[in-house]
Amino acid sequence: MTQPMLFSPLQIRSVRLKNRVVVAPMHQYSAVEGFATDWHLVNAGKYAQGGAGLVIMESTKVARNGCGTVGDTGLWNDDFIPALARCAAFIKAHGAVAGLQLGHSGRKARLSRPWEGGKPLRGDEPEIFDWDGWELVAPSAVPHTEKSPTPRALSHIACAAARSQERKAHVEIRSTSEQGRNLCGDHAQLSKGR
């Protein structure tokens, strides 16, 4: 009997996955001021323990103003790296490859969590930190929906700076993980003009 391809190894550049079971990134909305928590360790770790070949952690924001909700994980500051590296080490210890999706929410930023209605935040909610640093920005001054606030349009220079933050985050990921050098995802709303 032939083994299904799903359970056969897969080579991607220099990274070898033990199988083709890939856990897609899923927002957890459970970070605290951008820091990954034990929730992230357990959530991602259980898939590695379950035998997945690649576990991609949630969209992690490359800039403070890129956070979609108060619960987004961040990588705009080096202080975030140890908590994410802890998750990656746990995933690797259980035989899987750790991945991380990078992102910037652009005009979709500053919203309450989905189960809280996904509505634009006002700035006085108890979990909000650094409201001034969480400015709503996008490639154009067009709101996400009719009920959404209008973002500040970024200049070409500011968009380039956002892409530079993304490149810096890629470098940070690669410096913390040998496997991360070859597997790096992107879901940035700014760099794609959304």
Give 123: exposed, middle or buried? Use CB within 10 Å, 0-12, 13-18, 19+. exposed
- Stretch 11-30: mean pLDDT: 93
Q: What is the pLDDT of residue 184?
A: 46
- H or E stretch covering 12: strand 10-12
Average pLDDT over residues 62-91: 93
CATH topology of domain 16-121+132-188: TIM Barrel (3.20.20)
Instruction: Please tell me the pTM assigned to this model.
Output: 0.86
**Which residues lie below 8 Å from residue 29, measured CB to CB, with a gap of 6+?**
69, 70, 71, 72, 113, 114
Give me the residue label for tokens 């690669």: 174
Read off the pLDDT of each residue in 94-123 and give the average, rounded to a whole number.
93
Confidence of residue 163 (pLDDT cuts 50, 70, 90): confident
Instruction: Report the pLDDT value the prediction gives residue 2, as an integer from 0 to 100.
Output: 82
Is 90 exceeded by the pLDDT of residue 164?
Answer: no
pLDDT at 49: 98
